[in-house]
Amino acid sequence: MFEYHKNRINEINSIPNNLSVEENLYYRDYYLKDFKYISPDVINLNKNKIINKDVEKPVISEEVEAKSVLEKYIFEPTFGSKEKATWIIIMLISIFICAVVIIQLFCKWTSTPFVNVIDSVPTPIWAVPFPTVVICPHLHVKKSYAQVSELKGLQEFFASLVCPRMKNENKFIENRLTDDEFIKLREFVIKGAPTCSDVVKACNWPALHDSHWEIEKCCELFEPIFTNYGLCYAFNSLPLNAMTNETLSWHQGFNVNATPGYLQWGLDIGYPKVFPPDLTMKPLRVMASGESNGLGVELFLNNSEHQFACEGNSLGFTILIASPTDHVYTSTVLRLPMDRMTTIEVTPLTYKTDSSLRALSPYKRQCFFQNEKRLQYYEFYTDSNCKHDLWVQEARNKCSCVLFHWPRQFISEPVCTTKKDFNCISSVKGKLVN
């Protein structure tokens, strides 16, 4: 609402009669059509009434003219056609640019409906599970068990599956293993490899041993596990190495103590919020960072058991480090030499998914929550587990066999042994990677 001074009204009432309509509109410092309300004293002038073609326009036209600066200029009666055309072009270009930006934002939201942000609140170290540490000795067949260079036939093929130096010699057999032959393969791998007590001589886990080193009960913290490096020993592994209960019979083939277990911890829920915390709960965790709060292990290998025909010049250990929920086949691989003290520093990287993303379909968010997808061999749905689970399934479907160290739901599943089988496995892997 505008307030009008009386002297101004009197001045407007005295508008000369000889002015044109355009001059009347811009008389002195007033523009009559800018007024939201025009006083009757102004409209009903003492002399001839000012009749303007803009005043005669419909009310709707007046509302449109006042909406924006661009529209005001477009409908400006004093502007020529060129000026109006210029403003129309500017308005159309602005609308086009806005439309393009909106379309681009919509496409980006469709492809990536969420973004990664850095949480301002750091995750405490006691809320993150300690990684699984897998120790694989570079001693796959002890000399006291078998002389690799003298093996022939089926025994030579068994050694080629675990001996690094023999893997490039392309040892194959013509037919697949029978159930009895597979049992012999499993016994060859287990009995030929050093035991946990042969490798781990002392250990220290502060949550259990305080500051002293344990010598006799270290192997209670390690579980045997089959990997592509042969028989290894894993610290802080989950029950059945985070695999489904359907693989229990396969695990019991190399670990008689393997049993399914119930976890109070979960990827989405974390550890139970109780005080004091249970430091023996799987997966294990530390209460503080630093070398003194981590795992300490003293490893040993008997050099007299080393065989050049199996290991080559390699003597030491392969260390695999992974999250307890992930399989060890794509872990971080480290090589530890003999007669050295090595310190390994691990920095955890955590990702949290907002629960509001559950409203989006998995196709749009391009990921699954734990309770939305179940794998055939692994208990936890992670990226690495999903890829390896798919590889095992594709190999079983297209090659009708699996590698000897892969998880199986049935002991009777065929093991890949022929040249055709290994070529098929390599082909499936190449397709999945590409």
CB 234 within 8 A of CB 133: yes
Task: Give the model's confidence band at 68: pLDDT under 50 very low, under 70 low, under 90 confident, else very high.
Answer: low
pLDDT at 248 over 50: yes
Average pLDDT of every residue of the chain: 80
Tokens of 131: 């990684």
Whether residue 383 is predicted with pLDDT greater than 80 in this model: the reply is yes
267-292 pLDDT, tens per residue? 888 899 888 888 889 899 998 888 88
User: What's the domain range around 165?
Assistant: 125-433
Whether residue 52 is predicted with pLDDT greater than 80 in this model: the reply is: no
Cα–Cα distances in angstroms (integers) from residue 426 to residues 177, 385, 394, 398, in the given order: 20, 19, 11, 12
Mean pLDDT of the region 344-370: 82
pLDDT given at position 259: 85
Position 34 scores a pLDDT of 47
Choice among 73-77, 209-213, 223-227 with the minimum mean pLDDT: 73-77
pLDDT of residue 363: 78
- As a whole number of angstroms, the distance between CA 27 and CA 20 comes to 10
pLDDT above 50 (res 186): yes
Going 304 to 309 to 313 to 314, the CA torsion angle's sign is negative
Residue 35 domain-assigned? no
- For the chain, state the CA radius of gyration: 40
Q: Above 60 in pLDDT, residue 173?
A: yes
Report the range out of 23-37, 287-301, 400-414 with the highest average pLDDT: 287-301
pLDDT at 45 over 50: no
Q: Is residue 139 part of a domain?
A: yes
pLDDT band at 17 (very low <50, low <70, confident <90, very high): low
**Lowest-confidence segment of 88-97, 220-229, 299-308, 359-368 by average pLDDT:** 359-368
Under the banding of pLDDT at 50, 70 and 90, the label for residue 250 is confident
CB neighbour class for 45 (10 Å; exposed up to 12, middle 13-18, buried from 19): middle
pLDDT of residue 49: 43
Q: Tell me how far apart the alpha carbons of residues 185 and 411 are, in angstroms, rounded to a whole number.
A: 13
Position 96 scores a pLDDT of 94
CA distance 155 to 419: 17
Token digits for 429?
């892997």
Q: How many residues does the chain have?
A: 434
In a domain, 16, yes or no: no
| pLDDT (mean) for 42-58 | 46
pLDDT (0 to 100) of residue 141:
92
Backbone angles phi, psi at 393, to 5 degrees: -65, -45
List Cβ neighbours of 365 (8 Å cut-off, separation of 6 or more).
113, 114, 357
Question: What's the whole-number mean pLDDT along residues 361-370?
Answer: 80
- Is residue 182 included in any domain, yes or no? yes
The pLDDT of residue 120 is above 80: no
Q: How many domains does the chain have?
A: 1
Q: What is the pLDDT of residue 91?
A: 85
Determine phi and psi for 52, rounding to 5 degrees.
-120, 140
Is it the case that residue 20 has pLDDT exceeding 60?
no
Q: Confirm if 415 and 404 have CB atoms less than 8 A apart.
A: yes
301 is a domain residue: yes
pLDDT, tens digit, 9 for 90 and up, residues 5-16? 444 444 444 445
Is 13 contained in some domain?
Answer: no
Average the pLDDT over each of 72-81, 138-147, 155-164, 352-361 and give the range with the smallest value. 72-81
Q: What are phi and psi of 330, to 5 degrees?
A: -125, 40
Say if 427 falls within a structural domain: yes
The yes-or-no verdict on residue 406 having pLDDT over 60 is yes
Separation of alpha carbons 188 and 418, rounded Å: 19
At residue 227, the pLDDT reads 87
Q: Are 385 and 327 within 8 A, CB to CB?
A: yes
Mean pLDDT of 194-219: 88
More confident residue, 308 or 209: 308
> In terms of pTM, does the model score above 0.95?
no
> Is 27 among the domain residues?
no
